[in-house]
Amino acid sequence: MAGTLAGRYPDRTRTFRILFSHCDLHHPQHCPELVLVDLLNFPALMPASRKRFDLNRHVAKLLQCRRCPRMQSTPVSGGAIVSDVMLIGQAPGPREPVLRRPFAHTAGKTLFHWFEEFCGMNEAAVRSTIYFAAVCRCFPGKNSSGGDRVPARDEIRNCSSWMGKEIAILRPHLIIPVGRLAILQFVDCGKLEKVIGRKFRVERAGHHFDVIPLPHPSGASPWHKIAPGKRLLERALKLIARHPAMKDLAGR
């Protein structure tokens, strides 16, 4: 194994040897191949395995996060789905932490209906092929009017590092932010009419990807059910369905 890698990557042989000199060769279980690949940082070597390893580790850490004392639940995750497509929600409602998955209630029903109608993917297909993230991963609690509290700036800032890390690991081709708060993390969104139905090219930490925003599917706002929202939503969903990253998912 050592000779094979050193032969294929002569420019990295020194790193490789130093690494092995630190391993206890009498106890090879202390030097597993996965750790070796991770330390050498070979992006060309088993990239899918590397992403899966990093994402599994990332999600395990995310689930332990307790940075925001005002949040009313522990983090909700859709699981470590390695994908070229990320869907970004706003924050879970009260049901999602109990059901332990994002978009688990009424808004999710509408969202998955949209994907089924325009992309031909049912809920199970969407959940198993798209990485679900959110602006905040914990339920913020209720506001004084009984609606879900909008996360505060410090909470959004706290949680942004999780999304940044996910983009760095997955290097997605397409990001679908759902709802104004999620859209605002990527493009200016004074009015939904200005951004729904359009595709944007966005850069984060040197990585470029497409952003196609969707309105929030909750019943709290009728925007997506009446003109011009209804027409713009259809245009956005057609853009998503035609995107090469989505077509690749459908062919999995």
If 0-12 CB within 10 Å is exposed, 13-18 middle and 19+ buried, where does residue 239 land?
buried
Report the sign of the C-alpha dihedral through residues 24, 30, 36, 38, in that order: negative
Q: Which is nearer to ligand SF4, 92 or 108 (CB)?
A: 92
Q: Which is nearer to ligand SF4, 73 or 221 (CB)?
A: 73
Q: What tokens were used for 54?
A: 């990093």
If 0-12 CB within 10 Å is exposed, 13-18 middle and 19+ buried, where does residue 14 land?
exposed
Termini Cα distance of the chain: 32
Q: Which is nearer to ligand SF4, 154 or 188 (CB)?
A: 154
Query: CA angle at residue 56 from 149 to 163, to 5 degrees?
Result: 40
The 10 Å Cβ neighbour count of residue 193 is 11
DSSP 49-72: HHHHHHHHHHHHHHHT----TT-S
Shortest Cβ 216–ligand SF4 spacing (Å):
18
Shortest Cβ 67–ligand SF4 spacing (Å):
4
Shortest Cβ 75–ligand SF4 spacing (Å):
4
Instruction: Decide: is 236 part of the binding site for ligand SF4 (CB under 6 A).
Output: no
Among 90, 129, 158, 185, indicate the residue that binds ligand SF4 (CB under 6 A): 158
Instruction: Decide: is 165 part of the binding site for ligand SF4 (CB under 6 A).
Output: no
Q: Which is nearer to ligand SF4, 68 or 119 (CB)?
A: 68
Q: Which is nearer to ligand SF4, 137 or 216 (CB)?
A: 137
Q: List the interface residues with ligand SF4, window 106-145 (CB under 6 A).
A: 136-138
Shortest Cβ 199–ligand SF4 spacing (Å):
28
Peptide bond into 228 cis (omega under 30): yes
Identify which range of 94-102, 110-118, 142-150, 155-163 contacts ligand SF4 by CB under 6 A.
155-163
Q: Tell which phi-psi region holds residue 231, choosing left (phi > 0), alpha (psi between -120 and 50) or beta.
A: alpha
CB 214 within 8 A of CB 196: yes
Q: Which is nearer to ligand SF4, 62 or 126 (CB)?
A: 62
Shortest Cβ 3–ligand SF4 spacing (Å):
44
Among 155, 180, 232, 233, indicate the residue that binds ligand SF4 (CB under 6 A): 155
> Measured between alpha carbons, how far is 233 from 155 in angstroms, rounded to an integer?
29
- Amino acid symbol at 176: I
Instruction: Decide: is 163 part of the binding site for ligand SF4 (CB under 6 A).
Output: no
Shortest Cβ 74–ligand SF4 spacing (Å):
8
Q: List the interface residues with ligand SF4, window 60-89 (CB under 6 A).
A: 65-68, 71, 75
Which residues of this chain interact with ligand SF4, rule CB under 6 A? 65-68, 71, 75, 136-138, 155, 158-159
